[in-house]
Every structure is written in C-alpha cells, then in structure tokens.
Amino acid sequence: MSHAAQSDLVDDLLDGKHRALARVITKIENRSPGYRDVVSALHEHTGHADVIGITGSPGAGKSTLVDKLARTYRDEGLTVGVIAVDPSSPFTGGAVLGDRIRMASNVGDMEVFFRSMSARGQLGGLSTATSDAVKALDAFGKDKIIIETVGAGQNEVDIVRTADTVTVLVQPGSGDDVQMLKAGILEIGDVFVVNKADMPSADRTVAELEEMIHMRNDPTANLDLGHHGFEEPELPSGDDGGDESGADDESEERWTPEVVKTVAKDGEGIDGLVDLLAEHRTYLEETGRLAAKARMRYAEEIRQLLREDTAHLLEGELDRRGGIEAYAAAIYDRETDPYTVADELIEPIADCVEERRE
C-alpha cells in the first residue's frame, strides 16, 4: 500500500468509516506492511475512550455479559468497540464468534463494532496487536472499548493490562476457579462479577471472593501474590501533574474492588455493573491514576517493541551467518558456547549504536 493510500485509510477511519476501521485492524492483526505508520498516525487522536477488560474462567458467561454490556451502553447513546481475543487459537473466528458476529449484524447497529483476534502463531505479539487495535477504535471515536479474553491464563493477564478497568468473571460453585485466580488474575481485577448468580452456590462464591479481596488489600495477610504484586501506578510528583490527584500520596484513598452478582442472560445486575465501572473510571480520573496507568503502559509498550524489533534484527543476522541450527551444533560439539554466540551476534548492532552516539 502506497503512502498516499495509507494516508487516505487513516483519513477515512478518522471520518468515521467503519470499513476503514475494519481494514486498519486487519492490517494490525496481520502485521501488514505499513501498519506501523498507520498506528503512528492515529496515536495523536487517541486517549479519549474508556477501555474495559473482561476476563475470567471459560464458561463463566463472558460473551453474554459483553453483549449485554454493549447493548446497555448503546441504550445510553454511547458507541462501543469490542475486541474478543483468543491467545490460544491459531485462527480467527470459529462457530461461537461467528454466531456473535451474525447476531450483531441482525441487530443492524453499526455503532457496536465487534472484532475477534487470535494468536495466529505470533507468540508474544498478541498483546501489542490488541493495544494497537484499541488505538484504532479510540481514534475512530468509540466511547467504550471492551477487550474480552477467551481464557484466564498468563497471556490473558498481559492482554487485559491494556484496559483502564479490569473486570474478572467467576461462575458460582467454582471453588477451584477462585483458587486459580490467585495465580495471576486476582491482583489485576478492579471489579469482580459472579455471573449466573441465580445458581444456589452464588452467595458462597461471593463470600470467597470478598475474603480474597480483603486479604489482597491487607498487608498483614501475607498472601502470596506471585510475580505481579498489587502495586498501583505511582502518581506524578512535583510539578508533573501532581495536582491531578487532588490529595497527597499519603492520604490517597485506594480502590477496593467490589463483587457484583449478575445473571447476564436475563440482563440482571448489568445496570449495577455499569454503575460500578463508571465509579472506577471516576476514581482513576480524580486521583490521577488514569494518566499514571497510561504512562506505565506506554513504557511497557516501548520495551515490548524494542524486544520485538531487536529479535527481528537478530534473526536476520542469524540467517546471514548460516542459521541457528549451525550455532546449536557448534555449541553441542563444545566448539563454542551460548554466551560467545550471543556476543558475536549482538556485536554489529552494538557497534552501530556506539557509532551513532559519537
């Protein structure tokens, strides 16, 4: 695609043309030539959408909840973008997502833009692609962007970190699920939803979650947090936007996650969930944490892009020198060692950086 064509595509997206939005997200997902220039051009138009991540155990009813949530926002006159991400799937779509796309089109509401994304064998790159797709929806002008992940593993944790507010779904009577949440998702949840709350074990599941949230917020509880921890983003200090917080760091009120019950298939509890999500958004804005979280995300995005780009450079250097198998064989034969190989491969890049500095 020529530079002029890319510019036209960006202009069409900014003009609110859904076809252009779909094409841009396809370019992002496929890493098509020129996609980076498109995302770069869109960046200055971002920063307005409210981004909500929804994750949790399979079977908890995420898809139904997302559909009801989108419908509620539309009833309020807001526009919605939904990205359903499956980190484990090597292909996009499938019967379930296909049914949902047909369902959305039957409603005939173009203001709910639904898109499924998958790994397509690009390990580690899906969180970057998701982040870029969110930027496209944000620049387009969507008021609410919902990121729905299919599973509840480490990949999903990385993906939902793209969101301002993270909602974790749990189904009743799933003691194992609640225990599993300790492994990675509990600590990033801002709102917890016990869906299918008409089941008899719902109240017990709510109690278990509330106990875990209490332990999470109580520093004396000695809960093993794994490698994530519960650190909230640091607020700006000094003149760098410090006034945003409205209070000093010592007295700053911390957000305590709440548990809500829903029966998504009947629409029960959705209004309460919408109110709680809005409450968390207000908290982020009034404390300055919305800006702090955005800065943290951009810092991590730089690191991720540098990792991807340097890996790509090094793969090219490896191929030029005969491929990684030859190096592996030489290491096996004790002709060299991994550290020496790494030094050899990085040397030309390091030399270039040194030359630029001078």
Contact 287, 161 (CB under 8 A): no
Residues 353 and 224 in one domain: no
- The answer to whether residue 332 sits within a structural domain is yes
Assign 146 a pLDDT band (cuts: 50, 70, 90). Answer: very high
- The answer to whether residue 294 sits within a structural domain is no
Tokens 């841009």, residue located: 24
Residues 269 and 334 in one domain: no
Alpha helices (H) in the chain, listed in sequence order? 3-14, 18-30, 35-43, 62-75, 95-107, 126-140, 154-160, 175-181, 202-217, 270-287, 289-320, 324-332, 338-357
- Give dist(CA 52, CA 144) in Å, integer: 7
The total number of structural domains in the chain stands at 2
Residues 270 and 339 in one domain: no
Which of 271, 288, 305 marks a domain boundary? Answer: 288
Residues 145 and 225 in one domain: yes
pLDDT higher than threshold 80 for residue 20: yes
pLDDT of residue 236: 57
Residues 70 and 195 in one domain: yes
Q: b vs e for 285-307, b when ≥16 Cβ sit within 10 Å of the residue's Cβ?
A: eebbbbbbbbebbeeeeeebeee
Residues 232 and 338 in one domain: no
- The answer to whether residue 27 sits within a structural domain is no
Residues 76 and 142 in one domain: yes
pLDDT of residue 96: 45
pLDDT of residue 45: 97
- The answer to whether residue 37 sits within a structural domain is no
CATH number at residue 206: 3.40.50.300
Q: What is the pLDDT of residues 50-90, one digit of tens each?
A: 999 998 877 788 889 999 999 999 999 999 999 998 877 66
Residues 160 and 101 in one domain: yes
pLDDT higher than threshold 50 for residue 103: no
Residues 128 and 178 in one domain: yes
- Give dist(CA 117, CA 92) in Å, integer: 6
- The answer to whether residue 22 sits within a structural domain is no
pLDDT of residue 211: 83
Of the two residues 83 and 196, the one the predictor is more confident about is 83
Q: What is the pLDDT of residues 265-297, one digit of tens each?
A: 888 899 999 999 999 999 999 999 999 999 999
Residues 76 and 202 in one domain: yes
- The answer to whether residue 156 sits within a structural domain is yes
- Give dist(CA 191, CA 61) in Å, integer: 16
Assign 152 a pLDDT band (cuts: 50, 70, 90). Answer: low
pLDDT higher than threshold 50 for residue 116: yes
Burial level of 77, CB count in 10 A (0-12/13-18/19+)? exposed
- The answer to whether residue 254 sits within a structural domain is yes
Which of 244, 268, 288 marks a domain boundary? Answer: 288
Q: Which amino acid is at 230?
A: F
- The answer to whether residue 333 sits within a structural domain is yes
pLDDT higher than threshold 50 for residue 124: yes
Give every CB contact of residue 8 below 8 A, 6+ residues apart in sequence: none
Q: Which of 194, 158, 185, 105 is nearest to 303 (CA)?
A: 158
Which of 288, 312, 341 marks a domain boundary? Answer: 288
Residues 325 and 257 in one domain: no
Residues 193 and 262 in one domain: yes
Of the two residues 91 and 32, the one the predictor is more confident about is 32
Widest Cα–Cα separation across the chain: 70
Domain that holds residue 353: 321-357
pLDDT (average), residues 328-355: 94
The answer to whether the predicted template modeling score (pTM) of the entire model surpasses 0.75 is yes
Q: What is the mean pLDDT of the chain?
A: 82
